[in-house]
Amino acid sequence: MKNSIAIFLFLIGVNALALTEQDFVKKVLNQDANFEKDQIYVTIKQIELDASRDSYADWNTNLTASVSNSYYDIEKDTTSTKLYEKHRLKSSKSIGIVTRKKFLSNPSVLTIKAKRSIPNTDITRYKQDKIYTGKNAEYNITTFDNIYTISYKYPLLKHDGNAESLKTYHRDILDLKREKLDFDDAQEKFLVDRLKQYIDWNSYQKKSEIYQNYRQSLKAIKANQLKGKLKLNTVILRASQDASNNNAQLQSLKKALVVALNDPSLWSEKPRINTDKRPKILPDLTQYLRHNVRALLKLEIDKRLKEIDLAYHNNQSLYKLDFSISAEKNDNKGNTMTTKYQSESILYTAGLKFSMPIGADVDNQKNVRVAKLNLRKLNIDYDNKLNDINSDAQALVVGLELTKKALDDYQKLRVNVENEVNLAFKEYLDKAITIEMLIDVYHNKRDVELDYIAVLADYQKNLLAYNNKLDRVLPDTR
């Protein structure tokens, strides 16, 4: 009963120290310091995109105000009996607000204006170069003008200067997506390198267990003759040396992982790899690659960037044809010398404005041709990259199938050598075979176990390479 409890507690301790691949991946991705620079690039692109969107599509509002004063004076020598202005003192105040809205879906502009002005004029009249003493010799004119305007302009063919800013915004959207893909690439590259070390860590750990079992099996042999004892001691010493060399490599690798991940807890942990993992074979590999492999997605973004440039240059080669509509309301009131007035008017306007250049825009034609050639080059790069990744992935699948078959064969071989060991040990006890023959059987078992671990590591690394080729190493939820 006590032995059962001890075994149970030992197993709990082993499981508590076991580090699964999923837990290891979490440890790797928690290393923010390794990805800080790449995250900064993403943040910069996000800031640029936000600024590009806000500067283009937000309401752009300006407030204007003015105050002015003018004084008019004239010396006039005339025999005319008509009255004329000798002095005019004019003060004018105005305040206005203009706001414009551009749209991300099209190059049109909406403008809204409101203005209020108050001209105030004091007039002194003269007659025959003498101040007039009659009625209205001095009078005041005060006017209140309120103007409200709303207008909308849509370029039907060639876009105006807003097109350049709109193009920048669309490019910034794609630049941010590309930077995020670069960030994922950096994370996955770091993760793949660490997972290779994780696989090696598991191999060294398993080999350490194999060497330990091998030495324990040798030490359990009882040699009756001096020659057999010497032979057995030599083999045990060699086994100890092999175990020491393997342990040195194991400790060196663990030290590298502790430093890389800044996690001392790895010293007390052991890897626990799922040896039953299999490659996920896709029914339509080409479609998967097009929609999921970052190298292709980045080339697709590069193509779309060139398409934006090409569309812009093609548009700039068109004639100008602008459609515009507007409505203006005027509220006015004031007085003249003898009367007061108040009026309200509304003006509706719709129009088309056409213009075309005389001669060709050589520079823009050059831009169109260059953009088309760059786009064609990217299409070629995309097709070549797709074919390369597709062929590499299929080659890895073939290699994995062959390695899996080798693993299955090794599993049968391991059962056979285990049976051989049991039989040889029984025959040695019965003195049917020599100690040298028993040692050779143990040595053969050890070599088979070591070969199995080596093939298993190759299989796991090839599986990692396959998933890396398909950009499936980095978890979807991070």
What are the pLDDT digits (tens) for 373-403? 999 999 999 999 999 999 999 999 999 999 9
pLDDT single digits (tens) 192-205: 999 999 999 999 99
pLDDT higher than 60, residue 297: yes
**Confidence at residue 478, expressed as pLDDT on a 0 to 100 scale:** 43
The reply to whether the predicted model has a pTM over 0.85 is no
pLDDT higher than 60, residue 13: no
For residue 266, being part of any structural domain is answered with yes
Does one domain contain both 465 and 416? yes
Query: Which residue range forms the structural domain that includes residue 119?
Result: 62-156+320-355
Q: 347 by DSSP, 3-state: which?
A: strand
pLDDT single digits (tens) 238-264: 999 999 999 999 999 999 999 988 899
State how far the Cα of 374 lies from the Cα of 24, in Å rounded to an integer: 43
For residue 12, being part of any structural domain is answered with no
Domain CATH for 304: 1.20.1600.10
For residue 443, being part of any structural domain is answered with yes
Domain's final residue, options 301, 332, 355: 355
Residue 297: CA atoms inside 13 Å, Cβ hemisphere, count?
19
Does one domain contain both 83 and 185? no
pLDDT higher than 60, residue 4: no
Better-scored residue on pLDDT, 351 or 130:
351
Q: What is the mean pLDDT of residues 112-139?
A: 83
**Confidence at residue 106, expressed as pLDDT on a 0 to 100 scale:** 87
pLDDT higher than 50, residue 37: yes
Does one domain contain both 38 and 130? no
DSSP structure class, residue 264 = G
Instruction: Place 477 in a pLDDT band, splitting at 50, 70 and 90.
Output: low
Query: In DSSP terms, which residues pair with 355 in a beta bridge?
Result: 320
SS3 content of the chain, % helix, strand, coil (to 5): 60, 25, 15
Q: How many domains does the chain have?
A: 2
CA separation, residue 182 to residues 35, 88, 189 (Å): 11, 72, 10
**Confidence at residue 446, expressed as pLDDT on a 0 to 100 scale:** 95
CA 330 distance to own-chain centroid? 52
In this structure, which amino acid lies at residue 162? Answer: N
pLDDT higher than 70, residue 126: yes
For residue 474, being part of any structural domain is answered with no
By mean pLDDT, which of 10-14, 28-32, 235-239, 310-314 is the weakest? 10-14
Does one domain contain both 270 and 389? yes
Does one domain contain both 245 and 393? yes
Does one domain contain both 250 and 325? no
**Three-state secondary structure of 297-340:** HHHHHHHHHHHHHHHHHHHHCCCEEEEEEEEEEEEEEEECCCCE
**Confidence at residue 35, expressed as pLDDT on a 0 to 100 scale:** 83
By mean pLDDT, which of 30-44, 51-65, 421-435 is the weakest? 30-44
For residue 444, being part of any structural domain is answered with yes
**Confidence at residue 15, expressed as pLDDT on a 0 to 100 scale:** 45
For residue 349, being part of any structural domain is answered with yes
Enter the tokens of residue 470: 């398909």
For residue 55, being part of any structural domain is answered with no
Does one domain contain both 197 and 226? yes
Does one domain contain both 293 and 234? yes
Does one domain contain both 146 and 180? no
State how far the Cα of 289 lies from the Cα of 303, in Å rounded to an integer: 17
**Confidence at residue 6, expressed as pLDDT on a 0 to 100 scale:** 42
pLDDT higher than 50, residue 73: yes
State how far the Cα of 163 lies from the Cα of 382, in Å rounded to an integer: 29
State how far the Cα of 433 lies from the Cα of 425, in Å rounded to an integer: 9
Does one domain contain both 421 and 448? yes
**Confidence at residue 7, expressed as pLDDT on a 0 to 100 scale:** 39
For residue 91, being part of any structural domain is answered with yes
Instruction: Place 110 in a pLDDT band, splitting at 50, 70 and 90.
Output: very high
State how far the Cα of 257 lies from the Cα of 181, in Å rounded to an integer: 26
Does one domain contain both 125 and 220? no
What is the phi/psi pair of residue 347, to 5°?
Answer: -120, 125
Does one domain contain both 403 and 284? yes
Nearest to 438 by CA among 415, 422, 450, 414: 422
